[in-house]
Structure 1
């Protein structure tokens, strides 16, 4: 019974609040509407404040209140999770009110809203790149800003997301196609790109090893005429692994592939040498036959 009574009180309060808000929206007195919007904003009811700010802004053009309401409206979007619009509004505020005391904060918040809107690492990262560019631009243009350190930390977080994306992409090629030559080539290429872009990554050791594995699988899967070069690359990638991580936990596994590749390289090199000698002998015999025919 008590639970039902409390629910009744709660819904009655909600209905009363909604009714009050709708009455405020219908006010023709812009000053009262403005005061109500500011009150909602200070109480943290950003959805209601944002609606009222949107409605009264056209009538505030050229007034002292226009700047503050425009700034608060951007924050309403931010606090209600509409980060893309918040970024747009903060940026427009900075352009419109270039001499405002809030302009530096607005520029930073425009970039910060993009940071908040950055997608998960497994999605398209164009939004993450945009956030990095905006934050870096803010730092470059405001080297003494109180937001500089925070902006730098945000860039590091975003780059970590790009790093994770690149790591998962490199692993995906390796995981899904153990005998698909095109995917194995892509795996090696993606790992090489990762190593270049993120040389000190926490994922680096694992990918150094997976590069050996992918190259070995590529060598095994390819036609014999291309195997020697690809086995040699396995040996090279193994050397890169042990040079960078001499105590690697992947060392024993990688060493097995190295040993197999060394033996395969020796065997294939001997075969190539035998083929070369056979071709030279055949060529020499053909030349002698031709010379003999010419003498007749």
Structure 2
């Protein structure tokens, strides 16, 4: 058994060595036509790493020839299939710029944008690349409304927007998780939630966002100075009313009701204190005025 395995490993090593040796021979070919044909064969067999090396070596020589167009197009696809999406984006764009009349032109423009889609980062990372991909894909639809890639492009844009939606959702939640009743962070949380609701009105997260807005505003009211508490509790009440108007059977209803009840009581308590304070000041002003009038007499 050991000898058999050793023999198989030896055969595998010999085959690999032979393949590498043959490839190096092809690289050293001076016959450009045969080298080009070999590159195309490697490409069609899915051996994109070898095809890419050969096309890269050939392209400076093929400039102005009939083979330049296909070699440039295939090289871009080699980058794509090997997962080098930024490079693929660059090469597809360069192809479109160089061969504007090519039969592959529209596909190259699409693949340029699609490469950016493939390179879009996970939702928890910086999403500038995702935004760039959306813009490129939308530009493609605008320029080629009747393209065979139109439906697929629309779906790609939707999937990228879902990623941005998830990013915005997590960002808003993070403000609340890290707020620790910090006024600036709570203000940011309310703003971020409001932005999310405007940007993604049909989001599956909007019910939770509506509740978190009540919670953030309530915490903000509790954390703020007394002179601003009433106004902020009243805002919490408005956000609660918006929640139950849109989601009367909300899973967050009981939690929201507790915040609502306290907000109402606090608003009424502060309003009462403000009224008493105002009455006392008015009375004091009135008494002062009477004393002044008496002194004049």
TM-score, normalization by structure 1: 0.96
- 2:16 counterpart of 1:14: yes
Equivalent residue, structure 1, for 2:113: 111
> Residue 201 of structure 1 aligns to a residue in which SS?
coil
Report how far residue 116 of structure 1 moved.
0.2
Report how far residue 5 of structure 1 moved.
3.0
- 2:187 counterpart of 1:185: yes
Report how far residue 4 of structure 1 moved.
3.2
Equivalent residue, structure 1, for 2:155: 153
Report how far residue 12 of structure 1 moved.
2.5
Determine the C-alpha separation between the residues in 2 that align with 1:48 and 1:16. Answer: 15
Determine the C-alpha separation between the residues in 1 that align with 2:5 and 2:260. Answer: 71
Determine which of 89, 92, 116 is the counterpart of 2:94.
92
Return 57-66 or 4-13, whichever deviates more. Answer: 4-13
Determine the C-alpha separation between the residues in 2 that align with 1:7 and 1:259. Answer: 76
Report how far residue 253 of structure 1 moved.
0.9
Q: Which consecutive residues of structure 1, in runs of 5 or more, have no partner in the other structure?
A: none
Structural RMSD (CA):
1.3
Q: How does 1:165-204 map to 2 (within 5 A)?
A: 165-204=167-206
Equivalent residue, structure 2, for 1:33: 35
Q: Which consecutive residues of structure 2, in runs of 5 or more, have no partner in the other structure?
A: none
Shift >6 Å, 4+ stretches? none
Equivalent residue, structure 2, for 1:77: 79
Report how far residue 276 of structure 1 moved.
1.3
Return 34-43 or 273-282, whichever deviates more. Answer: 273-282
| Deviations, residues 207-253 of structure 1 (Å, cap 9, x unaligned) | 11111111111111112111101110111011111111111111111
> Residue 215 of structure 2 aligns to a residue in which SS?
helix
Any conservation in 2 of the 1:215–1:233 contact (CA below 8 Å)? yes
Determine the C-alpha separation between the residues in 1 that align with 2:9 and 2:283. Answer: 99
Equivalent residue, structure 2, for 1:267: 269
Determine the C-alpha separation between the residues in 2 that align with 1:182 and 1:171. Answer: 15
Determine the C-alpha separation between the residues in 2 that align with 1:220 and 1:3. Answer: 74
Any conservation in 2 of the 1:178–1:217 contact (CA below 8 Å)? no
> Residue 122 of structure 2 aligns to a residue in which SS?
coil
> Residue 114 of structure 1 aligns to a residue in which SS?
helix
| Deviations, residues 28-85 of structure 1 (Å, cap 9, x unaligned) | 2211211111111011011110111010111111111010101001001100111011
> Residue 119 of structure 1 aligns to a residue in which SS?
coil
| Deviations, residues 137-167 of structure 1 (Å, cap 9, x unaligned) | 1101111110000000000000000000000
Report how far residue 6 of structure 1 moved.
2.7
Equivalent residue, structure 1, for 2:245: 243
Determine which of 24, 27, 52 is the counterpart of 2:26.
24
Return 256-265 or 282-291, whichever deviates more. Answer: 282-291
Report how far residue 26 of structure 1 moved.
1.5
Report how far residue 292 of structure 1 moved.
4.2
| Deviations, residues 71-128 of structure 1 (Å, cap 9, x unaligned) | 0010011001110111111111111111100001000000000000011111111111
Structure 1 residues 5, 279: CA separation in 2 closer, same or farther (over 3 Å shift)? farther
Determine the C-alpha separation between the residues in 2 that align with 1:10 and 1:278. Answer: 98
Report how far residue 282 of structure 1 moved.
2.3
TM-score, normalization by structure 2: 0.96
Q: How does 1:274-293 map to 2 (within 5 A)?
A: 274-293=276-295
